[in-house]
Amino acid sequence: MPDVSVLDVRLNGRAIATLTHLQGDRTIFAFNEDYVGDANRPTLSLSYKDNLGGLITNSRPTQRVVPPFFSNLLPEGHLRRYLAERAGVNPQREFFLLWMLGQDLPGALSIHPAEGEALPPGVAEDLPDNARPNAYRFSLAGVQLKFSALESGHKSGGLTIPAEGVGGSWIVKLPSQQFAGVPENEFSMMRLASMIGMDVPAIELIDLDAISGMPEGIGELKGQALAVSRFDRTADGPVHTEDFAQVFGVFPDDKYKRASYANIGRVIGTETGDAGIAEYIRRLVFSALIGNGDMHLKNWSLIYPDSRTAALSPAYDLVSTIPYIVGEDTSALNYSRTKKMTELNTEELRYMAAKALLPEKLVIDTATETVQRFREAWETEKKNLPIAEKATSMIDAHAPMVPLYRELS
């Protein structure tokens, strides 16, 4: 294999930087000079923004993995292994995995080989006979088995998972083989969030037989799939996004560490103003009430509608996790001093607001409104939602255990 390979990093089609793979499996990231010198440059990530608002241009080389911002673009767990196997790439060698999956990344970013090679040098001869290098080139960060899909042209509707090339404007989240009813659970919680006033994308539950192009080798699946409209795809083209693991410059394995909800809130307060703060508090309180213990750094994102200014992205991955983790009432991150949902009271919320430099009145008023709307919407709609009866009963038992539920009702 040659000593050096280069990937172009493109944002909205514009080459802004390079990733260079060196001997010894090291990767170096560098911005292009014209991007550095552009006063109106589009934002790649807040992790490259210094305390004065300038661009951080010095990056340390990484070994075997790519820098954190790019590592977080790649899928994790079973989904990574599945796509890497299909592409014929070692799932741990992130530079080459990014090479193969970089045509349809989250947001408005894409990765292209600088020399135009279809395959990384030295990789082609190592491919297994049944590998399809161009298959499933799109990458969706996360662990759950999910694929980007196109709307079917058939009158009966449905979605199509493309066999190769870029995906479409929907994400298809397939049923879990480990936990029953996850798509129905997420659909119900997302719908409830919308009723309460949160910003959520369009969602649909869809029968598996209405999805064409279902990948091979994923095992037997039961139940329905959840289709979620991609908020990073519009009629005018892709819109750039980044999750908070990227914002804080941490690797995916640290998505449950290295930051708290107060840390996230401080960034949102600084970058998005009162509207973003209120939406953040709504989701935080709502997640505690439904028992969502998986709102880690990658489940919060920023979006850049004008390519430069951050806003809180629409909500996603709102799931009640308590039906799957019995007796677990801890959140993914510390609020400020505690991770216990059963300790999330107004005092903790005020403390978190102070640590995050958020307006206390806005935080408490928003939390109060959220609790009251939740109580009304949940009691009215829970029998109409496609969530399992056991999960409904567990939310019924859990929500009153959250102090905010009692204090702000």
List pLDDT tens digits, range 169-218. 899 998 887 888 999 999 999 999 999 999 999 999 999 888 888 777 66
Where residue 197 falls (left for φ over 0; alpha for ψ -120 to 50; beta otherwise) is: left
- In our burial notation (b when 16+ CB lie closer than 10 A, e otherwise), range 383-394 reads eebebeeebbeb
Q: Where are the domains of the chain?
A: 5-126, 146-234, 238-407
Tens digits of residue pLDDT in 79-91: 788 777 777 778 8
Residue 124 reports pLDDT greater than 80: no
Coil, strand, or helix at residue 234?
strand
The pLDDT value given to residue 109: 95
Options 8, 104, 243, 294, the catalytic residue:
294
What is each CA distance from 356 to 151, 188, 281, 299, 345, in whole angstroms? 41, 31, 12, 19, 17
At 367, list the tokens. 């939390």
pTM over 0.95: no
Q: Mean per-residue pLDDT for 127-141?
A: 47
The pLDDT value given to residue 328: 78
Among 151-160, 167-176, 328-337, 363-372, the range of highest mean pLDDT: 363-372
The pLDDT value given to residue 195: 97
The pLDDT value given to residue 131: 47
The pLDDT value given to residue 114: 87
What percentage of residues in the chain have a pLDDT greater than 70?
88
Q: Mean per-residue pLDDT for 222-248?
A: 94
Q: Count of residues for the chain?
A: 409
The pLDDT value given to residue 301: 98
The pLDDT value given to residue 120: 59
Residue 113 reports pLDDT greater than 70: yes
Residue 294 a catalytic site member: yes
The pLDDT value given to residue 222: 83
18, burial (CB in 10 Å: exposed 0-12, middle 13-18, buried 19+): middle
Cβ pair 380, 372 in contact under 8 A = no
The pLDDT value given to residue 187: 98
Q: Mean per-residue pLDDT for 390-397?
A: 96
Q: Mean per-residue pLDDT for 245-255?
A: 96
Q: Count CB-CB contacts under 10 A for residue 219.
A: 8
User: Could you please report the per-residue DSSP string of 286-355?
Assistant: HHHHHT-----GGG-EEEETTSSS-EEPPP------TTTSTT--B-SS-SSS--BGGG--HHHHHHHHHH
Which DSSP category does 297 fall into? G
The pLDDT value given to residue 133: 44
The pLDDT value given to residue 372: 98
| Proportion of the chain in helix, strand, coil states, percent, rounded to 5 | 35, 20, 45
Neighbouring C-alpha atoms within 13 Å toward the C-beta of 406: 11
Residue with the bigger pLDDT between 291 and 156: it is 291
Cβ pair 333, 244 in contact under 8 A = no
The pLDDT value given to residue 350: 98
Residue 338 reports pLDDT greater than 50: yes
Q: Which of 73-77, 159-163, 293-297, 392-396 has the lowest mean pLDDT?
A: 159-163
Cβ pair 94, 69 in contact under 8 A = no
- Please give the CATH architecture assigned to the domain spanning 238-407: Orthogonal Bundle (1.10)
Residue 259 reports pLDDT greater than 60: yes
Q: Mean per-residue pLDDT for 265-270?
A: 98
Angstrom distance (rounded) from CA 161 to CA 142:
18
The pLDDT value given to residue 66: 96
The pLDDT value given to residue 165: 53
Q: How confident is the model at residue 138 (pLDDT cuts 50, 70, 90)?
A: very low
Among 96-100, 132-136, 230-234, the range of highest mean pLDDT: 230-234
**Mean residue pLDDT across the chain:** 88
Q: Mean per-residue pLDDT for 326-351?
A: 94
